[in-house]
Amino acid sequence: MKRIGLFASLMIVTTFCVTNLNLSAQFLSPYLSQSEVERATQTAKDSIGSDALLIGIATQGEIDLSELFPGLVEKGFNKENGESGLWGYLFMTPSRSDSIGVAVVKLALGGTQVFTDREGEYDQEPVALDLSGAYSGSDAFAAQLKKDAIFTKYTSDYPNEIADAAVLAWRPEGAAEVVPSTFPTDKPIWAIYYPGNTDNAIPAMGCFVASGTGESYCIVVNEPELSVSDNLASQVESISVSPNPVGGEDQVVIRVRTAKGVTPDEIALYDVNGREVRSLVNVAQVSATDEYTITVNLSDLASGRYYCRVVTGEDVSSTPIVVE
């Protein structure tokens, strides 16, 4: 299956919104990400069901309106105050049976428009964003960025560089590969990406801020390695669980098959709030066919939905496990 990352999913939402705006030369009015969560959530619940979960928030560095008005490009994410003229919110039902993107724009001359997109195929985990962190708002995110020495130096050295996007997610693109092992992951992580320009010898930069603690981590690379692809080839060929749902059985067998020569960095169980319940990578038995088998007792888990998550490099795959 074509695997579309969360970042790419949200960019599809915002692009869809921009191309379907019905404006009469009215410019966008910037706002903070958190101020329209309630409106976007109600729209999603009305569209795909009352159990819709918010799983990601994003905006672009620039909002291109040239298809509507030639040459018109609106400023997107403002690194000074965390505002943007357009935020995209991605929702999914717990069963993954339905998903929807909601984009909200406010107009400078008054009024708000809401757009939805249900055409995408999103291979995501339906784990609800925890917005209780002190830095879950885009204004707090921007404030922490300004305190980071690497971010400050980069934006001072390259004042004309514009970010690709700013994203709030449990596992934003690149975070698992570059942040230190001690970086807080108990709440969602903000990320901002600058693509750089090799022709002008401008490096790329990615910055991450923990929404719970405000801790930041930025990395600058000499090539635009942090740009995001929507066509990441999955390195996990299959994840199977037997039995599933899990009833009174003592033993559950999880089999993970990876691409040839690929070793999982992480195999673990997570609950619907994104909390790790149990690490399984150290109890996995490997065969010569790149298949990993885990036999585990789940009788101590409360009834509910969990996810077996497998991380291999930049690839994250998961499958639901229901404990009855």
Q: Around Cβ 95, how many Cβ atoms within 10 Å?
A: 12
Where helices occur in the chain by DSSP H, the ranges are 6-19, 37-48, 138-145, 149-157, 175-178
The pairing of beta strand 266-271 with beta strand 304-312:
antiparallel
Question: Is-above-0.85 flag for pTM?
Answer: no
Question: How many residues does the structure list for the chain?
Answer: 324
* pLDDT value for 226: 41
Enter the tokens of residue 198. 């090799």
Strand 266-271's sheet: what is its strand order?
Answer: 276-279, 266-271, 304-312, 315-323
Enter the tokens of residue 300. 């101590």
* pLDDT value for 67: 57
36 SS3 class: helix
The structural domains of the chain, ordered by start, are: 6-221 (no CATH), 236-323 (2.60.40.10)
Say how far apart CA 119 and CA 20 lie, in whole Å.
Answer: 14
Enter the tokens of residue 88. 């995209």
Q: What is the pLDDT of residues 242-265, one digit of tens each?
A: 887 887 666 788 888 887 777 888
Residue 7 has pLDDT above 80, yes or no: no
Query: How would you label 22-40 residue by residue, b for 16+ Cβ within 10 Å and e otherwise?
Result: ebeebebebbbbbebbeeb
Whether the Cβ atoms of residue 209 and residue 216 lie closer than 8 Å to each other: yes
Q: What is the pLDDT of residues 148-175, one digit of tens each?
A: 988 999 999 999 999 988 999 988 877 7
Q: What is the pLDDT of residues 289-322, one digit of tens each?
A: 778 888 888 888 888 777 787 877 656 677 778 7
Which single residue is written with the structure tokens 């019905």? 22
Q: Which residues contact 263 (CB under 8 A, 6 or more apart)?
A: 312
